[in-house]
Structure 1
Amino acid sequence: MTAITEDGTLDEALQRVHSTGPELSQGWLSNHAPMAVEALARHGQARTVHRWLDAYRHRTDELPSAALTITDDNWREALGDPRHLGSWIAHFTRLTAELPWTDVLTAWWPRLLPGIIAGATHPVIRVGHAVRTLLTDGETEPRTAELAHALGYWAARHQPLPVTVTPSGGAGPHRALDAVPSLAVQEGGVLDRLARLPAAEGWPAAASGLRRPAGPDDARDLLTELVRATVARYPRYAHGDAVMLVHAATAPNAVLRVLPALPRALWVPSLTAAWEASAVLTAAYAPARPVFPAAPGVTTTMEESFALAAAHGDAHVIKLADTAWDVGGPAALAATARACELIEPGDG
């Protein structure tokens, strides 16, 4: 795994980001800045971080104020209430100042995990970036604060799925995803599509088609394979919705990045939630018929591929390239090239 260059760029960038809220001024679309700058700094593009932030800054909104004090008595009522975005961020900022960040994560991960689809999975993806930095590059105040902001965003947008998905079939991730049916009506936002899932033909059986893991290590291996499968599928299905299908890969990869910071007892439920996210996004946004684009032949190394994504500039392209870097190989190169082709700069 590539380490962050210790020149202070990432911490400076995170401090800039933390003056803004987790959503953009155009509505409830997510603020992608903390995820994009972490990926840029990690993969040899630190020199572009502040320039990227300068270009993105006009889209962001002010950090919301904290009108409510979240406590042990009222957190359940406040969970999933976006009116308390600022209050949740303040709550986790206090917790991470009082306790080791790993303790905070361990306590709250099982509470938040059932709402993994929150914010179209952006909160869990943001948590994954934050945890990767803390585990790989060490703890600093801005990095711990970033985890607090990410957890607060997740808590405020917490969104349980309308159906329970439990891996109980016999398929690995590649075959299980191939069996997920596309919604007959792929219109509207995430919540509109979620509402159609329970009645979708073939959905319940396909959603449970992933095989049940034998234990924590098997869950980690299945999760790793799930990330590989979603990256490999992206070039063939991204024409359905090139932006939203990025999350089918980056959400499970975020969960995979968090596993080393969690007790092993949480690994199996983490796989289940990651599979839920990928299966839901596949059903909601992947077209029924794949296409088979010609091999791009643009890049031959992951460094070149990520540089291509950085030059493109869109946050979703950068985040997919970051996940593709973890996967490696021709499929990863093809996924990044396809994202550059289909996503307009500025879409994210």
Structure 2
Amino acid sequence: MDKTGTLDEALQRLHRSGPERLGRLTNHAPMAVEALVARGKSRSVHRWLDLYARKLEEFPSKVDPVTKENWASALGDQRRAADWIEFFGRELRQSQWRAVLAQWWPRLLPGLYGGSTHPVIRVGHCVRMLLDGGETEPRLAELAHGLGYWAARYRPLGDLVPLSGSDDAAAALDLVEPLTAREGSFATRLDQVTALPEWAPVLADPAQARHRLGELVRAATHRYATHGHGEETMLVHAATAPNAVLRVLPALPAALWVPSVRAAWTASAAVTAMYAPDTPVAYAPPGDVAPEEIFELALAHGDEHVIKLTDTALDIGDEPALAAALRAIELSEPLR
């Protein structure tokens, strides 16, 4: 829980900016800021934001209001980000945030793959701060921004051919076949994902679903240490997207947990297919490093994806996860 007010100050500062820049690159600052505060680094937030500021663009212009009558036709229209954010702002002023989330989660879940999965990750960070730190106006506004970004970038997958898989998350990820042509944007590659291995196909109980999702997050995070060289930035999302879903589950009705796990698996496996290298490499961390030291290293490095993967690795807390965080620090370009 942030008692300094730094998180709310940072969110107010960031809500003057749009969810993207250059029409395709995500604004990661709200997610990274929440992670910094959650890990006890409130004093570093504004200094980090000063470095990141060059990656921010002004808030986009409105196009046409989204309403309860026309929302379906506005899904996936990236030009309507401001309209969607305004819509969710109204919804959250009129209803309790958990009710809004429960209503819209199943509507948005099929389009989890848009925006390179960043919208659901942003929502996951937001829900964590609402659950851990209480409701404030800036935090509810952040939920409106996250849900609005997701609705504007809504991007479903077509029907996937189910391939022989495994009930073990790590083994199922190992069975994902890399795309033959691994070039182009996230959206271009996503169009080529037509078949994925099955994993945990008989999930029915919500408690079991939550446990299995934790297994997937752990497996995907561990895997980054040996496979992150395939694409050091994009492969982060194979772990952070399902972890975002895991963070949201406690705020959702239990009936939504099983379909959420299905979507999280598809996202993690699709990212793996799109960016994983043909072969892994052995990786051993350079000596014993305590978890708090690793987050200090991630903060000093500054890259937003490194911060978010390290945040996920600390959720897991075991040695292979911490090794993945150190590997991300080694592979990624620092924020300067």
**TM-score bucket (shorter structure):** over 0.9
2:335 maps to 1:335: no
1:16 is matched with 13
Q: Kindly state the Cα deviation for residue 27 of structure 1 after the two structures are TM-superposed.
A: 3.3
Structure 1 counterpart of 2:285, which letter?
A: A
Structure 2 counterpart of 1:338, which letter?
A: R
**Contact 1:171–1:210 (CA<8 Å) still a contact in 2?**
yes
2:208 is matched with 218
1:122 is matched with 118
Deviations 1:209-257 (A, max 9, x none): 4432131111101100000000110010000001001000000000000
Q: Which moved more, 1:40-49 or 1:79-88?
A: 40-49
1:42 is matched with 38
Cα separation, 2, equivalents of 1:342 and 1:168:
32
Cα separation, 1, equivalents of 2:165 and 2:180:
24
**Contact 1:170–1:212 (CA<8 Å) still a contact in 2?**
no
Q: Secondary structure at the match of 1:71?
A: coil
Aligned 1:117-266 pairs, distance under 5 A: 117-164=113-160, 170-198=166-194, 203-204=195-196, 206=197, 208-266=198-256
**Contact 1:168–1:212 (CA<8 Å) still a contact in 2?**
no
Structure 2 counterpart of 1:324, which letter?
A: A
TM-score, length-scaled by structure 2: 0.97
Cα separation, 1, equivalents of 2:134 and 2:202:
34
Between Structure 1 and Structure 2, how many residues are aligned?
336
Q: Secondary structure at the match of 2:19?
A: strand
**Contact 1:112–1:158 (CA<8 Å) still a contact in 2?**
yes
Q: Which moved more, 1:214-223 or 1:240-249?
A: 214-223
Q: Kindly state the Cα deviation for residue 162 of structure 1 after the two structures are TM-superposed.
A: 2.5
When residues 209 and 7 of structure 1 are mapped into structure 2, their CA distance, relative to the original with a 3 A threshold, is closer
1:113 is matched with 109
Deviations 1:83-139 (A, max 9, x none): 101000000011111110101100000000001111000000000000000011110
Q: Kindly state the Cα deviation for residue 331 of structure 1 after the two structures are TM-superposed.
A: 1.0
Q: Which moved more, 1:222-231 or 1:63-72?
A: 63-72
Aligned 1:69-80 pairs, distance under 5 A: 69-80=65-76
When residues 170 and 334 of structure 1 are mapped into structure 2, their CA distance, relative to the original with a 3 A threshold, is closer
Q: Secondary structure at the match of 1:21?
A: coil
When residues 166 and 183 of structure 1 are mapped into structure 2, their CA distance, relative to the original with a 3 A threshold, is closer
Cα separation, 2, equivalents of 1:170 and 1:57:
44
Cα separation, 1, equivalents of 2:161 and 2:36:
34
**Contact 1:176–1:210 (CA<8 Å) still a contact in 2?**
no
Deviations 1:255-280 (A, max 9, x none): 00000000000000000000010000
When residues 167 and 126 of structure 1 are mapped into structure 2, their CA distance, relative to the original with a 3 A threshold, is farther
Cα separation, 2, equivalents of 1:273 and 1:77:
22
TM-score, length-scaled by structure 1: 0.93
Cα separation, 2, equivalents of 1:223 and 1:294:
26
Cα separation, 2, equivalents of 1:175 and 1:230:
11
Cα separation, 1, equivalents of 2:32 and 2:308:
6
Pick aligned residue for 2:53 from 36, 57, 64: 57
Cα separation, 2, equivalents of 1:290 and 1:226:
18
**Contact 2:285–2:326 (CA<8 Å) still a contact in 1?**
no
Pick aligned residue for 1:5 from 2, 6, 10: 2
Q: Kindly state the Cα deviation for residue 170 of structure 1 after the two structures are TM-superposed.
A: 4.6
Q: Which moved more, 1:243-252 or 1:212-221?
A: 212-221
1:302 is matched with 291
Aligned-residue sequence identity (percent) comes to 57
Structure 2 counterpart of 1:259, which letter?
A: L
Q: Which runs of 5+ in 1 are unaligned?
A: none
**Contact 2:173–2:272 (CA<8 Å) still a contact in 1?**
yes
Pick aligned residue for 1:91 from 87, 91, 101: 87
Cα separation, 2, equivalents of 1:189 and 1:210:
29
Cα separation, 1, equivalents of 2:176 and 2:213:
17
Cα separation, 2, equivalents of 1:212 and 1:288:
30
